[in-house]
Structure 1
């Protein structure tokens, strides 16, 4: 049995994240651990002097609706019991919320959170700074979901021949072997007339994990309409490597992933070493 973290921050209860956790549990029973965080990370409020030495400052706690958080925890427990899911609740009230969440990911197989609601009180322009930080700091794979989406039944594998993209593909297959028969499309970017990177090797690997696999090289012209294509294929889940790392090619860069997250169209699986 795998352990899944389901993350809620402040007063938010993400229906989209719970929907994904429930869906994954239906495929294979999991321990669902609800993590309930402070509505702000006070680490960002610590002051530093011009010499780089931290200076004491007076921090006024962000107003937390404890009643709302308690209600969200009760709602989570009720939903889990109704669905027959084994669950735990962690009320992480440490002032350094993202640090606590990073520690939680060290002891989990997977994390699911809302790419739309995650600390939207800090900024509704997703991915906001908090979401970017946890994408870099996480020690387990993440599934990001919008609030309104179609549950995936197909896989879109973002591949550029580099280690991060292959690592993400392998992590997904190790976590979800039950999706073997899903239609799967492995895409890469055509750059300067180069051939499909390590095509024989990636096809040899991926074909053993995806029964219905197709490979596609995206041209510059196709790339211009790729976001439009994704919007019309909302039954896919995108599998991609580390967020904002230089190893990723242009089509799978930070700006590409930010646009996908911002559009709130599909679920995104992110994994890195």
Structure 2
């Protein structure tokens, strides 16, 4: 049995994360941990919402706190009801300290964490990739599945391969977590710089490895700048596709100089991403 953790903001609950998490837990016969990030510094209201005619109103503050508590409880009840309906093993965690620290800690004890691409854990709205998600991906201790705004059942898998250890490691972790997806249509996509490369890096070895797990996989080679070619190519594919990539590196310096492919895909596409790094 594996442990699947799904991150939730109880004040802005992600239905897409819930549906993907339940599907993953059912297929893998895993324990699903609903991680409700009830950060004590985060509320749905702003400071001026508490101000009355004579300054900060205790009655308004009490009303707003009660409303947030009820909203969070409603989200927890919905999660629990859906888990019971799906007949899966589940637990509920209410993490009340700083959200990013709590979620990183949860990732240490998880096989995978699912989180919505537009999660902010604040009352501010951001377009993906949000600061919270980017920060989490930089420090997470297990594979992550980034969930799009809308749920679509996964029907195809694209494995991004660039010859790096990280890209191969991501494929390994994906196969470990979701072996039943070997039966789906699978495509290995590589981008070559025409001025530097003529062949897929370690072509014989990667094909030998992939064929062991995805014997019907097809191979697509694109030429040009990977930051332009990959998003453009994936935009032509259905929303029912999951993309696997080893995008984030541990070194903060390398991240400063080189934008992650994951960032680009979250910014331009609304599809699920499976991300793993060493």
TM-score (norm 1): 0.82
**Alpha-carbon distance in 2 for matches of 1:103, 1:223:** 32
Larger Rg: 2
Deviation at 1:271, TM superposition (A): 0.6
Q: Which runs of 5+ in 1 are unaligned?
A: 43-62
Count of residue correspondences: 249
Contact map agreement 1:154 1:183 (CA 8 A) in 2: yes
Runs of 4 or more, structure 1, over 6 Å off, are none
TM-score (norm 2): 0.81
Contact map agreement 2:118 2:126 (CA 8 A) in 1: yes
Which of residues 170, 183, 186 is equivalent to 1:184?
186
Q: Which runs of 5+ in 2 are unaligned?
A: 43-63
Which of residues 61, 82, 90 is equivalent to 1:87?
90
Contact map agreement 1:142 1:271 (CA 8 A) in 2: yes
Contact map agreement 2:248 2:260 (CA 8 A) in 1: no
**Alpha-carbon distance in 2 for matches of 1:70, 1:106:** 26
**Alpha-carbon distance in 1 for matches of 2:116, 2:144:** 10
Contact map agreement 1:8 1:118 (CA 8 A) in 2: no
Match of 1:54 in 2: none
Distance change in 2, residues 1:264/1:18 (3 Å): farther
Query: Does the alignment pair 1:243 with 2:245?
Result: no
Distance change in 2, residues 1:221/1:140 (3 Å): closer
What secondary structure, in the 3-state scheme, does the structure 2 residue paired with 1:212 have? Answer: coil
Which of residues 231, 252, 257 is equivalent to 2:262?
257
Match of 1:215 in 2: 219
Match of 1:139 in 2: 141
Contact map agreement 2:145 2:273 (CA 8 A) in 1: yes
Contact map agreement 1:165 1:240 (CA 8 A) in 2: yes
Deviation at 1:193, TM superposition (A): 4.1
Distance change in 2, residues 1:13/1:264 (3 Å): farther
Deviation at 1:97, TM superposition (A): 1.5
Higher helix share: 2
Cα deviation, 1:49-75, whole Å, max 9, x if unaligned, reads xxxxxxxxxxxxxx8622211111111
Match of 2:23 in 1: 23
Which of residues 198, 205, 209 is equivalent to 1:201?
205
